[in-house]
Amino acid sequence: MRKKIVAGNWKMNMTVSETKDLIAKLKDKCSTNDVDVVFVVPSIDVTTAKECLKGTNIKLGTQNFYYEDKGAFTGEISAKMILDAGAEYVIIGHSERRNIFKEDDAMINKKLLKAHSSGLKPILCCGESLELREKGTYKDFIEKQIKSAFENVSESDALNTVIAYEPIWAIGTGKTATSDEAEEVCKFIREIIGKLYNDNVKSNIRIQYGGSVNAGNARELFEKEDIDGGLVGGASLKEEFINIVNYK
């Protein structure tokens, strides 16, 4: 039985003071044992968020890191820095990192390997553009993204990876994939994982859907057989997130 995981990707939003206010509004009602809840905050907010979340079981994550240990990588943060600051999850391969910051499949694979060897829990994003969806080649594209990301990743590390299927055309657009469209791809990703590893990893790896998830559509999406929760952008910055976490 896979435990659902609902993660809020705050993106480049929330100053340190705003972080305190938002967590004060969300923390009590988002602290539940029914699902794993992760606040994925800007790295500068981690220490404050950690303090504010004391006494809850809400987990913390960051949105990016670099795969080297330390050194001349101006502007970057390491896995060790994230863990030491008190976060345990990290998003890898978000489409905004792939498209705006030109992160390619090879870099995403290096980050996934490094996250695991450092003890960070990765949320690996994949998903197609509108163009590929309309062309009908989206599954080929996603298969390539998954195969490349998991190159040299061990079975036990694969099991500890959360995959987020995020069709780019549904991110921040208000246009959600229907629950059937989301389920089709999440099931397909699970099959790819089954072929890369085995039935155990296939049935236990957690696969989220992300793309304009809100309080009105979360339940229908998260109740699908192969959808194990969501990666939520816009709605994670509002009290609406409480209803997404408590979607049942």
- The catalytic residue among 96, 103, 128, 166 is 166
Would residue 116 show up in a list of annotated catalytic residues for this protein? no
Position of minimal CB gap to ligand PEP: 233
| Binding status of residue 234 toward ligand PEP by CB under 6 A | yes
First-to-last C-alpha distance (Å) of the chain: 17
Q: How far is the CB of 170 from ligand PEP (least distance, A)?
A: 6
93 part of the interface to ligand PEP, by CB under 6 A: no
The verdict on 232 binding ligand PEP (CB under 6 A) reads yes
State residue 40 phi and psi, 5-degree precision.
-100, 100
Closest CA to 177 of 240, 124, 133: 133
Site for ligand PEP in 209-228 (CB under 6 A): 210-213
Outline where 37-122 has alpha helix (H). 46-52, 79-85, 95-99, 105-118
Q: Position 209: which residue type?
A: Y
How far apart (Å, rounded) are the C-alpha atoms in residues 75 and 198? 39
* Residue 120 binds to ligand PEP (criterion: CB under 6 A): no
CB 112 within 8 A of CB 149: yes
Among 45, 133, 233, 247, binds ligand PEP (CB under 6 A): 233
CB of 127 to ligand PEP, least distance (A): 9
149 vs 201, beta carbon nearer ligand PEP:
149
CA atoms of 169 and 171, how far apart (whole Å): 6
Nearest residue (CB) to ligand PEP, 45 versus 166: 166
CB 234 within 8 A of CB 172: yes
Choice among 94, 103, 116, 183 that is catalytic: 94
Q: How far apart (Å, rounded) are the C-alpha atoms in residues 75 and 78?
A: 10
Q: Within 167-186, which residues bind ligand PEP (CB under 6 A)?
A: 171-172
Binding site for ligand PEP (CB under 6 A): 9, 11, 166, 171-172, 210-213, 231-235
- Which residues are part of the catalytic machinery? 94, 166
